[in-house]
Chains A and B, each alone.
Chain A
Amino acid sequence: MSETQEKTSKTYDPFEPFRSMRDTYLDAMAKAMVETVNTEAYAQATGAMLEGYLTAIAPFREALDKSMLQTLQQMELPSRQEVAALAERFTNLEMRLDDMDAKLDAIRKHMEQNGSGPQSGVGKAAAATPTPRTGEGGDHETAVSRPGARQPFVRRKLSRTRR
């Protein structure tokens, strides 16, 4: 009896008797829909719907943007545009740092080849050895970034510039 129960609990599906009928119907529908979405009429209809929706919400969006901007100004907080502009500047800075990073790599490599660098012999290993970086990464990723020996140097250069 328990065997019967186990078997039943694994396989019982109330929709089973309708499965073949369902599949036949869905196949036919799928073909018809693929043909429908491939027509000019469908493209025109969806385009018109999207345009209608976006045109309809535009005045509300504009009003909301204006009132939000005023509120933020009154609270002496930066606007979305200002924060976005700041983020863009950060990215530009990141790019400059990345270029400096690469140039330092090239200088180190050159010094190693000439045997004149203070880190000659270890530079390449340092360049290839990732250093953990806090605040990033998931369960199976170790967050690493620039070679450990180089980062303090970049920071020193930046702080000197600021002074």
Chain B
Amino acid sequence: MEPAFAMSGAVAGFEKRLRTFNRVLTTRAPIAQTPKDLVWALNKAKLYRYRPTVDPTHQHRLPLLLIFAIMNRPSILDLRPGHSFVEYMVGRGYDVYLLDWGAPGYEDRHLKLDDYALEYLPRAIRKVKAIAGVEEFSMLGWCIGAILTTIYAALRPDEGLRNLLLLTAPLDFSNRNSVTFARWTDERYFKVELILDAFGNMPAEMIDSGAKALKPIENYITNYCKLWDNLDDPRVVESWHAMNTWVTDNIPMAGAAYRQLIVELYRQNRLIRNELVVRGERVDLGRMRANLLTVIAEGDHITPACQSETLLAKAGSRDKELYRIPGGHIGMMAGSGAPRTTWPHIEKWLSARSG
């Protein structure tokens, strides 16, 4: 009898694993759950304000505006309850706002970095200041969001930006050997105009497969093996499910902004050289005045450290700090170690400058 029972138990266990595996791969986890209100909208962009959870007397005076990349959903900042940067900051008395750029349609193919940095962003900031009733604010930019916030900080140094936090900021493209994307997008091989002629915008699928191709085995095989190995651990499964929900929810990138990113930044490296011209204004990083914290993930293969390090020497800010942390491009903010390492450091740095 015993071998028969053992066999049926094994089959049931294997079936359970398969069911869990299938559920995680084919369903969406509930992400971005922190309560928020929509306070402003323009075209596809939406500005959210997170509902405060601490007593107003214990709140920081300066609001914090979060700016994520334009080709991914910002829900990674608010991944899941108990593991959300937004929730963490709201719980520590910050008035947190999030600018969601939305998914550009064909009609948005002409949107440039200029439009994002000098049309959308200043308007959202104006709304944040009006709601918060203050003239100063803090801003956090991540990935392409860090490019936009850097451009804004350099072009509008007197508009109330007191603190600027840059996470994995791809600003310097001079070290082409260390930046795989720079190699791939070399003008000899990569015809950006052909893509934009065909699609208008840079398709989400192409951005996603490009990012995954940087580490193909990890992204296409090892990642799923890790899930399979941990199917008995609900914490790992739910964490994986939430991350997979975010990773698979990709959005296209506005065509003109993508062209600028490839041609003017990846190929010509104009931003760090103070040669980038946005709406007729030259972006001079020496004009930056905001207190500056640059966070670098040492294991970042999308934005290697060399792309962010040089900003400190170029930025005109007096108060500036470089913070290195183990982890990858996304993992440093959304990984299991982030609540113990990255978030407390950011909070401590900001707290000292948000009074």
Contacts and interface: CB of A to CB of B under 8 A. Distances in A.
A4 to B, nearest CB: 6
Interface in A20-54: 22-23, 26, 29-30, 33-34, 37-38, 40, 42-44, 46-48, 50-51, 54
Summarize A's interface: helix, strand, loop or mixed.
Answer: helix
B23 interface: no
Contacts of A9: 9-10, 12-13, 16
A75 interface: no
Contacts of B17: 13
A46 B184 CA distance: 8
Interface stretch (A113-121, A122-130, A153-161): A122-130
A12 B36 contact: no
Q: Number of contact residues on B: which range applies?
A: 35 or more
B352 interface: no
A68 interface: no
Summarize B's interface: helix, strand, loop or mixed.
Answer: helix
Interface in B96-116: 105-110
B46 to A, nearest CB: 8
B232 A10 contact: yes
A38 B180 contact: yes
Contact of A88 (B14, B107, B217, B229): B107
A19 B39 CA distance: 51
Contact of A8 (B6, B131, B197, B217): B6
Interface residues of A, number: 64
Interface string A47-75: 11011001101100100000000000000
Contacts of B107: 83-85, 87-88
A30 B12 contact: no
Contacts of A80: 106
B323 interface: no
Of B8, B38, B49, B180, chain A has the most CB atoms within 10 Å of the CB of B38
Contacts of A136: 38, 41
A95 interface: yes
B218 A30 contact: yes
Contact of B9 (A8, A91, A130, A140): A8
Nearest to B43: A91
A105 B130 contact: yes
A19 B222 CA distance: 11
A127 B18 CA distance: 53
A44 B38 CA distance: 45
B340 to A, nearest CB: 26
Contacts of B184: 42-43, 46-47
A33 B219 CA distance: 12
Contacts of B8: 5
Contacts of A57: 198
A141 interface: yes
A145 B38 contact: yes
Interface stretch (B166-174, B188-196, B235-243, B342-350): B188-196
Contact of B198 (A22, A23, A61, A144): A61
* 4 tightest Cβ-Cβ pairs between the two chains A and B: A47-B189, A9-B13, A87-B107, A5-B9
Interface of A: 1, 4-6, 8-15, 19, 22-23, 26, 29-30, 33-34, 37-38, 40, 42-44, 46-48, 50-51, 54-55, 57-58, 61, 80, 83-85, 87-88, 90-91, 94-95, 98, 102, 105, 124, 127-128, 130, 133, 136-145
Interface of B: 1-2, 5-6, 8-10, 12-14, 16-17, 32-43, 48-49, 105-110, 119, 123, 126, 130-131, 133, 180, 183-184, 186, 188-191, 194-195, 197-198, 213-218, 221-222, 225, 228-229, 232, 301
10 contacts: A13-B228, A14-B14, A19-B229, A29-B217, A34-B301, A80-B106, A87-B105, A90-B43, A94-B43, A139-B33
